Amino acid sequence: MINANGEMLGVMATRDAQRLADQQGFDLVEVSPNAEPPVCKIMDFGKFRYEESIKRKQARKNQKTTQIKEIKFHASVDTNDLGHKLRQIKDFLADGHKVKVTLQYRGRENAHKELGMEVVSRVIQECSAEAVVEQSPKLIGRTLGCLLAARPVKVGSGQPSQAPRPVVPAPAKPAAPVAE
C-alpha cells in the first residue's frame, strides 16, 4: 500500500485500504496486480488519467514524421537535369525525408539496362556524403529503384569546428621607380 504522498504504508487488507482512501477523498488504484502481494496506491484517478492523456498528446506532438519523396529519372537524362534533381534530393535529405530514386526505362532503353544503372549509381555516389542507401537498386519490370535515407547524426561526436584562418595580407608590390 502506497499513500497519496508516495510513502509506503505496508501490507494491509483491501477493506482497510479502501476505507483509508475514502477518508482522504481519493481512489484506491491497483498499480501492480502481478506483484505478490499486489501493490495499490491512493490517488485521484481522474487527475491521473488526465495527466496521462496530456503526456500522450505531447509525445504525439513531438513525434517527427518522415515522408518518402520520389525523384524520377530516365536513362537518357541530361547533365543539367541530373544536377537539378541531385540538388532536390539533397534538399529532401537535409529536411530529414527519405528519397525514393526511380528510373523508368522507355522503348529501346530496355535493351541497355546498364545505362540506367550508371545513372542510379552516379546519383548514389553524388549523395553519399548526405545519404545512406537503405534499399539497394533493384530492377522490377521496367523500373529501377532504390531508397536513400539521410545519414544519421552522431550525438556528442559532432564534426570538428574549423577555426577561421587568419587573413594573410598579400605581399606588397614594389614601388615603381620614379622618373626624374
Collapse the DSSP code of 45 into the 3-class scheme (helix H, G, I; strand E, B; otherwise coil) and give the result. Answer: helix
In the predicted model, is pLDDT for residue 84 greater than 90?
yes
39: nearest Cα among 29, 25, 24: 29
pLDDT in tens, 109-140: 888 888 889 999 999 999 888 899 989 999 99
The overall pTM is greater than 0.85: no
Domain boundaries, the chain: 14-62, 68-150
Please check whether residue 132 is in contact with residue 143, taking contact to mean a CB–CB distance below 8 angstroms. no
Triad 146, 79, 84: Cα angle to 5° = 65
CATH number for the 68-150 domain, one of 3.30.110.10, 3.40.50.880, 3.10.150.10, 3.30.70.1380? 3.30.110.10
Please check whether residue 43 is in contact with residue 26, taking contact to mean a CB–CB distance below 8 angstroms. yes
CA atoms of 12 and 71, how far apart (whole Å): 66
Amino acid at 136: S
- Return the CATH architecture of domain 14-62: Roll (3.10)
